[in-house]
């Protein structure tokens, strides 16, 4: 008999949050939505509240939260509406919460996800920035509290499935030679470099395989997303940078693989649908129906693999660089990139300016040790300030 699990969904109106609720919808006997948390999509959050009737709902700003509370009362819902970061932190760590889906995009998800780790929760991690910004602090909190950490990024979920269950004792001890982190290459893998300067936000957000939010779609187009995943893999699997190899695989059928010392390569395959890793994380170590179409290998026909072009995808090289540097350098890169992508989407920065801005911010902001959360947040704030100033100066037009 299954025990009903209370789930807090951080970022419920985003693509990962919506997919999570779709899997939960299929298994009402297993999961209950305890809290839904969103940034500003009031209407979408209200619809989710009407269907799942959570005990709590959170929006970022008080005025929006007041409007949502009025809507919930008028609909006869018992949902209590909160607002702000403190509410996110509390609803990630309450004793009634069994598991947290950490799907808030960007640095905004750091503090509530860290609170869930410190509270010993089962954490389904879709927010890679948590490990990019504060990998040492976060993994220490997981170890000290006994929290369960299950990666939801399709690539890291695939690696988790292909590694032995005792991989924590060390990759060498487990016979692992390399982690093969696959990447689609995004929409501009074959675009001439001369044509990239004029890339529009609409083109950058048109991912060939995955349905994702605008920010992560742009990161995929620059391959910054893959760079962040390299850093994430380093912390999740205690893997040195030189043992994490990015492999461009346009079909996005092999989600990642593990290369073993005896010559074996274990890969996880599936259709590009985030409900697969979400269902795996929700039910681990069991398997449940996710609503995903079975993989038809005959229909796929062929699988291709290429080396990444580090000149074309400068952001990927920057991610390896800051991983080698350590300390707050990854947090600085992440902050600069968030500002750069937002400026690109607002048409204030050209596509190629994203990598140039990131590199310039890294040269101007001094990285220090990742001693505390305050150190990480200070580095993040300084990098954002410098990046915003450089954009205003029109340095990368």
Which residues does the annotation place in the binding site for NADPH? 13-16, 127, 129, 213
Which residues contribute to the annotated binding site for 1-deoxy-D-xylulose 5-phosphate?
Answer: 128, 154-155, 184, 207, 220, 225-226, 229
Whether residue 57 contacts residue 82, with contact meaning beta carbons closer than 8 Å, is answered with yes
Three-state helix/strand/coil letters over 381-395: HHHHHHHHHHHHCCC
What are the residues facing 56 on neighbouring strands? Answer: 35, 80
Q: What phi-psi label fits residue 78: left (phi over 0), alpha (psi between -120 and 50 degrees) or beta? A: alpha
H helices of the chain, where? 15-25, 42-52, 62-74, 85-91, 110-118, 129-145, 154-162, 201-204, 214-222, 224-237, 275-283, 297-300, 314-325, 329-345, 353-364, 373-392
Which residues contribute to the annotated binding site for Mn(2+)?
Answer: 153, 155, 229
Which residues contribute to the annotated binding site?
Answer: 13-16, 127-129, 153-155, 184, 207, 213, 220, 225-226, 229
| Dihedrals phi, psi of 92, to nearest 5 degrees | -95, -10
Q: What is the rounded CA–CA span in Å between residue 20 and residue 106?
A: 18
CA distances from 375 to 329, 368, 388 (A): 11, 8, 20
Q: What is the DSSP letter of 278?
A: H
């Amino acid at each position: 008999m299954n025990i009903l699990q209370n789930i807090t969904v951080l970022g419920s109106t985003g693509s990962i949050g919506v997919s999570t609720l779709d899997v939960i919808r299929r298994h009402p006997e297993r999961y209950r939505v305890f809290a839904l948390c969103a940034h500003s999509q009031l209407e979408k959050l209200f619809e989710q509240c009407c269907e799942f009737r959570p005990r709590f709902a959170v929006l970022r700003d008080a005025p929006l939260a007041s409007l949502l509370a009025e809507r919930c009362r008028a609909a006869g819902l018992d949902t209590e509406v909160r607002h702000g970061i403190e509410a996110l932190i509390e609803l990630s760590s309450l004793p009634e919460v069994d598991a947290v889906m950490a799907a808030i995009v960007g640095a905004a998800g750091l503090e509530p996800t860290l609170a869930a780790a410190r509270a010993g929760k089962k954490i389904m991690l879709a927010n890679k920035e948590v490990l990019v910004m504060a990998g040492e602090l976060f993994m220490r909190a997981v170890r000290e509290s006994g929290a369960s950490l299950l990666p939801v990024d399709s690539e890291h979920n695939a690696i988790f499935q292909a590694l032995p269950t005792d991989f924590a004792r060390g990759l060498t001890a487990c016979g692992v030679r390399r982690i093969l982190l696959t990447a689609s290459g995004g929409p501009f893998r074959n675009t001439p470099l001369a044509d990239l300067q004029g890339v529009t936000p609409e083109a950058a957000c048109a991912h060939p395989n995955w349905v994702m939010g605008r920010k992560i779609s742009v990161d995929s187009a620059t391959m910054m997303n893959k760079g962040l995943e390299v850093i994430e893999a380093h912390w999740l699997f205690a893997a040195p940078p030189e043992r994490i190899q990015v492999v461009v695989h346009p079909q996005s059928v092999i989600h990642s693989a593990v290369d073993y010392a005896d010559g074996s390569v274990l890969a996880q395959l599936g259709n590009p649908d985030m409900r697969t890793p979400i269902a795996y994380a929700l039910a681990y170590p069991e398997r449940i129906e996710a609503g995903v179409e079975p993989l038809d290998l005959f229909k796929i026909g062929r699988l291709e693999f290429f080396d990444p072009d580090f000149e074309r995808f400068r952001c990927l090289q920057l991610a390896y660089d800051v991983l080698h540097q350590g300390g707050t350098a990854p947090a600085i890169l992440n902050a600069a990139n968030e500002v750069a992508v937002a400026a690109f989407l607002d048409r204030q920065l050209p596509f190629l300016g994203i990598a140039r801005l990131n590199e310039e911010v890294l040269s101007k902001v001094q990285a220090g040790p990742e001693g505390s959360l305050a150190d990480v947040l200070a580095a993040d704030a300084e990098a954002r300030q410098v990046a915003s100033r450089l954009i205003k100066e029109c340095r990368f037009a």
